Structure 1
Amino acid sequence: MFNPTDEWYSCLFGQDSPTATLISVPIPPITPFPFGERSSLGRRFLWQADTPLPERRQAALDVGAHMWIPNQFACDSITIGESAESARRRLHEWWDVTDAISARKTVGQLLDGMHSSTFEVIAPLVAEAMKKTAGHDPSAHREFLATRAAARGSSPGYWITHYDALYTLRTSKVLRNSVTDKYFPTHIRAWDLGRVPFVVRTALRSGYLQEDECWPMLFAALDSARGYYANWRQFAHGVVIGRAYWSAITDIGTTAEKAQVAGDWVNALLVRSDSPWRRLPLWPEEHPQRRVT
């Protein structure tokens, strides 16, 4: 499991890092948050339920919390205020989801590691190429990936494209202000798991899913996130790097900007007094596996 340290936190967010958990060490409230109203970071997290959700349900929604400010979704309700027509349009345009079957399939792919499963194969190769390890260079890796793909009946071009994207991302130092090579992750499960709640909530609003099947999907994402991460800080790292990798696959020119946007989102979640991540840790406080790095 990847364990970023306080040095990583300072590198990523450009500020002093906490010395203990964000729950036990109080951080002075920031009210209002010092960003203009035109910035998504100037918007409040929306809390609208009359009574708090059970902790497990709230934690499951919190897995997707980095998407709540830009989309203005409430933090404490599975329902969203967006119209059904708008929700269906976005699911179609962004995810090619048009019905219950495609919604369930997309959630399943995210739970299985839609982007991380590929990342986990190519990231060690890119790391060795950057270290200039004997026998490891981009040409040799592309040949290996092409052979591997052919043996599995998949497209060599897919694997080579993803390898080149990650190699360019790392060698171009696009993320030099976000994370050092020393703390580069071996997986980006947070990027996949963190999108499950958005798809589920939007599919529910679209009428493709029923609420009684939505919560098990959200709980599956939460349980998986707990299996990979010790706390929200680690999870945040996966979101930022995952978004950068996803962007590099299609347009390396926008990667720095999109990584910064993701960094801003998770920064707000980590420090703001109205943040769902500040109200509830990833792991229950009394759980023996909860730990801080």
Structure 2
Amino acid sequence: MGLFSSLRDMFSGATTYNVLEGAPALTPGQDRGLALGAMYAVEGHLPVNALTMEADARTAARLAKGSWDTVDAESARATYRYLLGGGHDVAYRILLPYLEAYLAVAPTRKRAVLKEPHERALRELPELALRHDLDPARLRNQFINGAYYYGNLVTYGSPDPLPRSIVAWDAARVAHVSRIFSDAGFVEPDEAWAAMEQAVDLARSAYHSWEEYESAFRTGRLFWQLGDKRFDQTKAADDVEKFERAGRELLTDDGSPWKRLAW
């Protein structure tokens, strides 16, 4: 993007997207695949038109190792299998009915009323976690922290309904890690694009609009943070707000990939 265009957008109030000049033209499928990760592109000012973070191979490899424990092509493919094979959505679907049962009575704020759904969740979730090859302690944390976080929202605010699925979170990360893996040299572009095509199919089968996708992405990101025993509600709220801003831009700005591409 040229200097004049950037200045024009700055003073007009339009959102400025990072466009990599000289990047190969995208096919419609590639364009849609990158759009899945647009929340990350806006938040991190990454190119919306190219399969790259604009990072050198060493930096990208360090990021892949630190964030994904991925060090080569084999482990990159394992990451793809995880994200495309259920990812965090498996745990979320297990936990959802327990959270909803708790939140249904949360506005009462009566300990005796809250005790039954809370204790039932803690009693049943460990076995469900083991049955689905999940970490019982992490699933327990996600329930306890989720009940506290969403319980406050239900009692004192007006939260959005919890989505049926957080496949959006997994699909968006397929697009995001594809940038990292490509820059690191772990996968060839064709393999990355193929993984993103599968992610598009998953997302389009789960949602009916970019609005639904955006909301489910944010829920998924929060759900991931809820698994931390040291979950910090203030930091999580700041993170939610940051990605809410990115989502609003993508849903409303005329230059957004989401406005250009019908769901």
| TM-score of the pair, normalised by structure 1 | 0.75
Structure 1 residue 150 displacement after superposition: 5.0
Residues 1:89 and 2:67 aligned together: no
Select which of 116, 128, 138 maps to 1:148: 128
Select which of 230, 238, 241 maps to 2:208: 230
SS at match of 2:83: helix
Name 2:166's counterpart in structure 1. Answer: 188
SS at match of 2:10: coil
Superposition pairs of residues 19-98 of structure 1, within 5 angstroms: 31-32=9-10, 43-46=16-19, 48-49=21-22, 52-98=25-71
Which residue identity is paired with 1:59?
R
CA-atom RMSD, angstroms?
2.8
| TM-score of the pair, normalised by structure 2 | 0.83
SS at match of 1:125: helix
Structure 1 residue 155 displacement after superposition: 4.4
| Stretches of structure 1 lacking an aligned partner (at least 5 in a row) | 1-29, 36-40, 283-293
Q: Is the 8 A contact 2:24 2:50 kept in 1?
A: no
Q: Normalized per residue, which structure has more helix?
A: 2
Select which of 237, 250, 263 maps to 1:256: 237
Which residue identity is paired with 1:90?
L
Q: Is the 8 A contact 2:129 2:135 kept in 1?
A: yes
Q: What is the distance in 1 between the residues matched to 2:152 and 2:114? A: 22
Q: What is the distance in 1 between the residues matched to 2:55 and 2:32? A: 22
Q: Is the 8 A contact 2:34 2:175 kept in 1?
A: yes
Which residue identity is paired with 2:44?
N
Q: What is the distance in 1 between the residues matched to 2:261 and 2:127? A: 46
Which residue identity is paired with 1:194?
A
Instruction: Evaluate the alpha carbon distance shift between residue 64 and residue 154 of structure 1 in structure 2; reply closer, same or farther with a 3 A threshold.
Output: closer
Superposition pairs of residues 190-209 of structure 1, within 5 angstroms: 190-209=168-187
Name 1:158's counterpart in structure 2. Answer: 138
Give percent identity, aligned residues only: 23
Deviates more, 1:262-271 or 1:129-138: 129-138
Q: What is the distance in 2 between the residues matched to 1:244 and 1:152? A: 21
- State the aligned residue count: 246
Q: Is the 8 A contact 1:45 1:275 kept in 2?
A: no
Q: What is the distance in 1 between the residues matched to 2:217 and 2:158? A: 12
Q: What is the distance in 1 between the residues matched to 2:28 and 2:221? A: 28
Superposition pairs of residues 95-110 of structure 1, within 5 angstroms: 95-110=68-83
